[in-house]
Structure 1
């Protein structure tokens, strides 16, 4: 009797495509790039999709011509363009929370709240007769919205989401005794410890307490300054509850990161981001613990030239996770080494002084960083 031949050994890379497709249907969008990087056979089974939560995305829309919303991914180095358009081509993109986008339309001073997945738009009550240039929420609850004017007198008004789902009329207040602190074109506001902070050009801080709305802003005596000049400055509350500022000098360098010592009320320079990644340069700044090694301990700023070609996509929500699905199919793009990031985005390490080849940028009112991981 002839002995049966032993079964041939097969490894994971030889799994049938139909079985791999079934496996992919059970996985989250964010795991697809890792699966695609295993081998060419596994990559062939990964459906064309780009998880939206791997890193924060630069949401932008041109203010001339097309108003389609685009999302730039530093990880994939791709622009993803969706059908949703801004109601007003000149609308200023102010902020985002989860999948909601808030824009400010001029000259009518109308605030719009847009669901970025469904495309539904809600118009809030018209702002008082004053030019506002910032709109922010009170935090994750998104039940209070604030509009701030930092150009003339330092004014603030707020509206509260009522139980019936409608927003109340705006309540305007300003303190005529407050001396305006000089601000840069992008001097974003940040909630920290339940208070709203505005960063001045020289490192001074203005403070607003929601519990004392009628008082408006107060200018703090300390800190007095950063200790050095800066052309751009961006404020953020870190994931560890620190009030931090990212400071960019002439022609893009040097890049300093400082945090506020709230005992001495002085700015202290940070030598390292401790593995975190900062995405800044717009009205919003995001700090993230990114698992991608080549992105750690870096500061990313948008550049306004040499954009990659946009891919037309649908923004799809599945199991609580968002992904861009190309309309015309195509394969995923997976970065394997991260060497290209030096050309794709402005990218710095804290304290770096080497100027970039292309340093000229301008402040824009039509781009912010959005964080779909929340």
Structure 2
């Protein structure tokens, strides 16, 4: 096919705006950014919007005279605030898909649907089981656990969703422990992996809780080999998209950063050299790994530390063709991506990186990574 002449190119760029809008209405939203790159005329026809599927988002509460939820996008380096979608003043438990679990106090837990804002409080935990349930684990379907993995006895209570979508009473899980002591690594939420719950201890040992019919057990494994050195201060578990159990290890002031994978046959942590086209989002009570087509994100680890505070865009959440997007409220100027990934601190796995790039960053408190799309980015 012969290239278009300048006259033909001018013809395409001179299409009337109403015709361009009709064309856009026949295209999926995911193709609109490419459409806008053709020329200035085509770009003017594209309504500003920000697809949610680009990357996982960092959810936080603004806490500035309001508790509206904000979603930070590493791709756009913007925070999107949704009016009326509020977060109660509570501790974040975990995030699973579009569900956020909040711990209101030691006895009450809230299940919040992020897009609709619908909230459902679970029955209170019986005071007879009262404990500091620091962690909440939700399988995204029917079962939720509250976990207190501290000191002389691990305590776990479980609630199951019934057929009417309500939550049942909490049941205490009782088991004998040969070696009951484990201190969970701070902010490292337990993860569900191969039908069991894994808890990562500060010293690198693993606590494993498993149910088999009416029987349940909890055991503390000996520390797997090659976990890492004492220079690693922060540790996070992840059940990755390939079904593997991994841990992310951070040193003082961010470096070194290592990712290790558990070999269950030898009970040894093996260092991971490549994420194989994936990006890893960690540093909160939910750690996510996603396969991505974005070259600049591949093999990188992102944590909730920002070099500079992002612009806040007030938006509505809209859905079309099965795709969710943030749609700016009236007065928005358009889509501006800036320099992708420059606002958030990240580390490329296998690269030597100095710590001073970490020093000037500001941590996003009361935040958690969420994946509102559920498909590969």
TM-score category by the smaller chain? 0.7 to 0.9
1:16 Cα deviation after fit: 2.8
User: If each structure's strand is expressed as a fraction of its own residues, which one has the higher value?
Assistant: 2
SS of structure 1 residue aligned to 2:125:
coil
CA root-mean-square deviation: 2.6
Write the mapping of 1:246-261 to structure 2, written as runs, cut at 5 A: 246-261=248-263
Write the mapping of 1:105-184 to structure 2, written as runs, cut at 5 A: 105-106=104-105, 109-128=107-126, 129-139=130-140, 142-152=141-151, 153-175=153-175, 177=177, 178-184=179-185
**Residue of structure 1 equivalent to 2:61:** 61
Distance 2:220 2:65 in 1: 41
**Residue of structure 2 equivalent to 1:4:** none
Distance 1:149 1:84 in 2: 33
Corresponding pairs, count? 362
Summarize the Cα distance change of 1:131–1:214 in structure 2 as closer, same or farther, 3 Å threshold: farther
Write the mapping of 1:1-374 to structure 2, written as runs, cut at 5 A: 9-10=8-9, 12-62=12-62, 65-86=65-86, 88-89=88-89, 91-106=90-105, 109-128=107-126, 129-139=130-140, 142-152=141-151, 153-175=153-175, 177=177, 178-211=179-212, 215-224=216-225, 226-229=227-230, 230-303=232-305, 306-335=308-337, 338=340, 341-342=341-342, 344-351=343-350, 352-359=352-359, 366-374=366-374
Contact between 1:145 and 1:160, CA under 8 Å: does it hold in 2? yes
Cα distance per residue 1:12-56 (max 9 Å; x no partner): 444332222122223333333333333332221111111111100
1:85 Cα deviation after fit: 4.6
Distance 1:101 1:192 in 2: 19
1:227 Cα deviation after fit: 3.3
SS of structure 1 residue aligned to 2:359:
coil
Contact between 1:174 and 1:214, CA under 8 Å: does it hold in 2? no
Contact between 1:62 and 1:366, CA under 8 Å: does it hold in 2? no
Distance 2:28 2:139 in 1: 30
SS of structure 2 residue aligned to 1:302:
strand
Summarize the Cα distance change of 1:213–1:243 in structure 2 as closer, same or farther, 3 Å threshold: farther
Cα distance per residue 1:342-368 (max 9 Å; x no partner): 3x0011011433113343779877211
SS of structure 1 residue aligned to 2:8:
coil
Contact between 2:17 and 2:45, CA under 8 Å: does it hold in 1? yes
Summarize the Cα distance change of 1:365–1:204 in structure 2 as closer, same or farther, 3 Å threshold: farther
1:100 Cα deviation after fit: 2.4
Distance 2:12 2:345 in 1: 39
**Residue of structure 2 equivalent to 1:5:** none
1:211 Cα deviation after fit: 2.3
Q: Could you tell which deviates more after superposition, 346-355 or 31-40?
A: 31-40
Gaps spanning 5+ residues in structure 1: where? Answer: 1-7
Contact between 1:204 and 1:225, CA under 8 Å: does it hold in 2? no
Distance 1:364 1:303 in 2: 6
Contact between 1:183 and 1:199, CA under 8 Å: does it hold in 2? yes
SS of structure 2 residue aligned to 1:315:
strand
Q: Could you tell which deviates more after superposition, 194-203 or 60-69?
A: 60-69
Summarize the Cα distance change of 1:46–1:31 in structure 2 as closer, same or farther, 3 Å threshold: same
Summarize the Cα distance change of 1:369–1:31 in structure 2 as closer, same or farther, 3 Å threshold: farther
1:64 Cα deviation after fit: 6.9
Contact between 2:94 and 2:286, CA under 8 Å: does it hold in 1? yes
Gaps spanning 5+ residues in structure 2: where? Answer: 1-6
Distance 2:123 2:219 in 1: 27
Summarize the Cα distance change of 1:330–1:305 in structure 2 as closer, same or farther, 3 Å threshold: same
Summarize the Cα distance change of 1:17–1:363 in structure 2 as closer, same or farther, 3 Å threshold: closer
TM-score of the pair, normalised by structure 1: 0.88
